[in-house]
Amino acid sequence: MKLKLSHAICLVSVIAFPVGVLAQANSDIVISQKKRTYAPGQVTIQAGQSLKIINDDIFLHHAFVDSDEMDFDSGSMEEGETRTVQFDKRGKFQVKCAIHPKMNLDVTVE
């Protein structure tokens, strides 16, 4: 079975971060969208940090923050497209996919 490079990267990120991630202060975290999931599925970051969301799937995805505290909507994302979202306020946020309602990413901002 041959894997595309993007599939291999996604597989590595799932194995390396199965539950969640605690980000270092000045680094962005790459979040993969694949098979109707975000990987990792939960992260803890510092206020002011960003998440880089990449569609590692052959299917169309979308990302939006479900919160009154901030406004982020990626629009439709084709395979390989990325969007970056910065979290400036502390709190707990949920990133969802409008196309796949069961896709959830829990973000804790400290």
pLDDT, residue 27, reads 72
pLDDT, residue 95, reads 97
Average pLDDT over residues 85-109: 96
Average pLDDT over residues 73-99: 96
pLDDT, residue 79, reads 97
pLDDT, residue 25, reads 52
66/73 Cα distance (integer angstroms): 9
The total number of structural domains in the chain stands at: 1
Digit-coded pLDDT (tens) for 1-52: 444 444 444 333 333 444 444 444 557 899 999 999 999 999 999 999 999 9
CATH code of the domain in which 24 resides: 2.60.40.420
The residue segments making up the domain with residue 78 are 5-109
Give the chain's length.
110
49/26 Cα distance (integer angstroms): 7
pLDDT, residue 66, reads 87
